[in-house]
Amino acid sequence: MNRIAIITDSSCDLPASLLEKWNIKVVPIRVIYSHGDYRDGIDITPEEVCDKLHEEIPKTSMPAPKDIIQTLKLVQDEGYTHCIILTVSAALSGTYNAFKLIVQDFDMKIEVIDSKGLSWLLGFLAIEVAKMVQDKMNFQEIIEKIEQTRQKLMGFFIVDTLEYLKAGGRIGKVAATLGSLLNLKPIISVDEEGKFYPFTVGRGRKQAIKKMLEPVLKQVESTKTSLTIIHTKAEQEAMMLKERFKKMENIVEIYISHISSSLVVHTGPGLLGLVINTASSEN
């Protein structure tokens, strides 16, 4: 009998309760300081990264090969015959390529898939794949449906400063300078290649939040939607958004999630974002 395991990386931002509920295994991305490296969510917390940013902006790196190997051996030992691995966007991280290289040494049917997203864009995709496994879909059917599912996910976020995205090479220098000079706050999304791009721009944080809400509210008007409010030390704003959304008939579930240590490195404190999943309306 075929048994399908699901593995993702720590940038998915899923809490332990959902990872356990859906039987999703996570491999930690590394957060690297000048004095050493830490496993995201194991050796270091997002709050610790935030608190240390004034001292040093760390770098991030793909999971250590030993952590990938250990996780693959674990699913093999647990009797899984097939494995679906969903990774943070290959345009933003070497994680996808690291998995592709290592899985060649394992005698299992393994598919490594670039989510072309991060945070709950990856997290929601992993949950939807877990639902397919629970529904007894076969391995190939699931692989074929993943792209269709990915198209039903949408995410937007704003940051207080573009400094950290600039430092990590995730955004152009011109855009970073523009944002700081004119108090323009880009609403950032992820394109079809899995790269960051400015969806639109607001002048100041208040207007940026309003503009970030517009495409999400338009979607929610007509479609049953699961929604996650992501943030970095912006809990009050996140709670205000939750109060607004929970009154809406088409919202089937709402989560509030502090982003992972590896993502805090590139955004800094003050991130606020919305990720929606309309694939859940089909279940």
Residue 260 has pLDDT above 90, yes or no: yes
Residue 94 has pLDDT above 50, yes or no: yes
Contact 56, 34 (CB under 8 A): yes
Average the pLDDT over 258-273 and give the result. 96
Full set of structural domains in the chain with CATH: 4-150 (3.40.50.10170), 153-282 (3.30.1180.10)
For the record, the structure tokens of 103 come out as: 């899985």
Backbone angles phi, psi at 154, to 5 degrees: -150, 140
According to DSSP, residue 88 is labeled: S
For the record, the structure tokens of 209 come out as: 């939040």
- Residues with Cβ within 8 Å of 10's Cβ and at least 6 positions away in sequence, in order, are 26, 27, 28, 29, 39, 40, 41, 260, 261, 262
Average the pLDDT over 238-244 and give the result. 97
Q: What is the pLDDT of residues 108-130, one digit of tens each?
A: 999 999 999 999 999 999 999 99
Average the pLDDT over 14-22 and give the result. 98
Residue 232 has pLDDT above 90, yes or no: yes
Mean pLDDT of the residues in the chain: 94
H/E run at residue 225:
strand 225-231
Give me the pLDDT at residue 161, please: 86
Of the candidates 123, 120, 145, 122, the residue with the CA atom closest to the CA atom of residue 133: 145
Q: What is the pLDDT of residues 148-172, one digit of tens each?
A: 999 999 999 999 888 888 888 777 6
Residue 29 has pLDDT above 50, yes or no: yes
Q: What is the pLDDT of residues 44-88, one digit of tens each?
A: 999 999 999 999 999 999 999 999 999 999 999 999 999 999 999
Residue 208 has pLDDT above 60, yes or no: yes
Contact 63, 102 (CB under 8 A): no
Residue 283 has pLDDT above 90, yes or no: no
Residue with tokens 């879909």: 137
Average the pLDDT over 10-39 and give the result. 98
Give me the pLDDT at residue 174, please: 45
Q: What is the pTM of this model?
A: 0.95
Strand, coil or helix: 237: helix
The amino acid occupying position 156 is F
Give me the pLDDT at residue 281, please: 60
Give me the pLDDT at residue 272, please: 98
